[in-house]
Amino acid sequence: MNPQAFLQLDRVIHEKGRLAIMSMLAAAPELSFTEMRDTLKMTDGNLTTHIRTLQEAGYLSVTKSFQNNRPLTTCSLTAAGKKAFTNYINLLEQIIQQTKPK
C-alpha cells in the first residue's frame, strides 16, 4: 500500500474529538457551543481546548453574542476548514480504494 495518503492526513483534524467537531460543523452552517457539547458528550474544558486548536489552525471561527441577555457562542467552519475537511475525506476514500481487494 502506498503510505502517501496516510502521511498526508491532516494531524489537526485527525484527532477523534476535533474530527467530531469538524464533522458536525460540516453539516450545519453554524452550531452553538452547547449543542456540540451535548451531542458529543464532551466537557466544557475539553471542547474549548479542541475549538481553540481548530481556531488556531484557521479551520473554525467563533462568534460570541448575546441572546436575551444570555451569552451565545457559535462556531462555524471557515473556507480553509471546509477545504481541509474535504481533503481529509478524500484521503480517507483513497486509503479505502488502495486497500480494497482487487
Q: Please identify, using beta-carbon distances, which residue of 46 and 98 lies nearer to another protein.
A: 98
Q: Please identify, using beta-carbon distances, which residue of 56 and 93 lies nearer to another protein.
A: 93
Q: Does 79 bind another protein (CB under 8 A)?
A: no
Q: Does 63 bind another protein (CB under 8 A)?
A: no
37: Cβ contacts below 8 Å, ≥ 6 apart:
43, 44, 47
Q: How many residues bind another protein (CB under 8 A)?
A: 34
Options 7, 64, 71, 102; binder of another protein; rule CB under 8 A: 71
The interface with another protein within residues 21-60 (CB under 8 A) comprises 23-35, 38-39
Cell digits for 51?
Answer: 475549538
Name the residues that contact another protein, by CB under 8 A.
1, 6, 19-20, 23-35, 38-39, 67-68, 70-74, 89, 92-93, 95-96, 98-100
